[in-house]
Each structure stands twice: as C-alpha cells, then as structure tokens.
C-alpha cells in the first residue's frame, strides 16, 4: 500500500510515467527512477527513459530471475 502514494500523483494528473533502470545496489538488485512526462507526451517519457542506459550499465535481470 505504501507504493500507491508514489504512483498516484502522476496518475491523478493523467501524466505519462515510465521507469528507467539506472544501476544496481551492492546486493545486485536493480534500481530505477520514475520519469513523469508532460500531458499526452507518452513517447517523450519513453524516449527519455532509454537514455540513462546509454551512460550506465543498462538493465539485465539479476541472477536467478
């Protein structure tokens, strides 16, 4: 239930939101950021979300997944 308050702001405002992987914790778990774009600009947030992978390790599934 704690996570719903993080998603509710963009959803209530009808804004597109995309999650981008930005790295890994010391334990090897993936870490991401949530990007919120302008109204009706879904492709903008998707395009922006792929860019961190160009300068970080990108995303790969943790071992055992």
Question: pLDDT tens across 21-41, in order?
Answer: 887 888 878 788 888 999 999
Main-chain phi, psi angles of 52, to 5 degrees = -60, -30
Other beta carbons within 10 angstroms of residue 49's beta carbon come to 20
Specify if 20 maps to a domain.
Answer: yes
User: What is the domain range of residue 35?
Assistant: 4-55
Residue 55: strand, helix, or coil: helix
Specify if 65 maps to a domain.
Answer: no
Q: Cα 64 to the chain's mean position, in Å?
A: 22
What's the total number of domains in the chain?
Answer: 1
pTM of the model: 0.64
Main-chain phi, psi angles of 36, to 5 degrees = -110, 130
Q: For residue 27, what pLDDT is reported?
A: 86
- DSSP lists the bridge partners of residue 34 as 19
For residues 38-50, average pLDDT: 90
Specify if 63 maps to a domain.
Answer: no
User: In which band, very low, low, confident or very high, does the pLDDT at 64 lie, cut at 50, 70 and 90?
Assistant: confident
Other beta carbons within 10 angstroms of residue 26's beta carbon come to 5
Specify if 41 maps to a domain.
Answer: yes
Specify if 43 maps to a domain.
Answer: yes
Specify if 61 maps to a domain.
Answer: no
Specify if 60 maps to a domain.
Answer: no
């Amino acid at each position: 239930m704690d996570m719903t308050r993080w998603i509710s702001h963009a959803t209530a405002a009808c804004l597109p939101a995309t999650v981008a992987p930005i790295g890994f914790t010391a334990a090897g778990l993936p870490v991401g950021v949530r990007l919120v774009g302008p109204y009706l600009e879904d492709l903008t947030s998707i395009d922006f979300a792929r860019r961190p992978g160009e300068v970080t390790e990108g995303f790969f599934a943790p071992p055992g997944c």
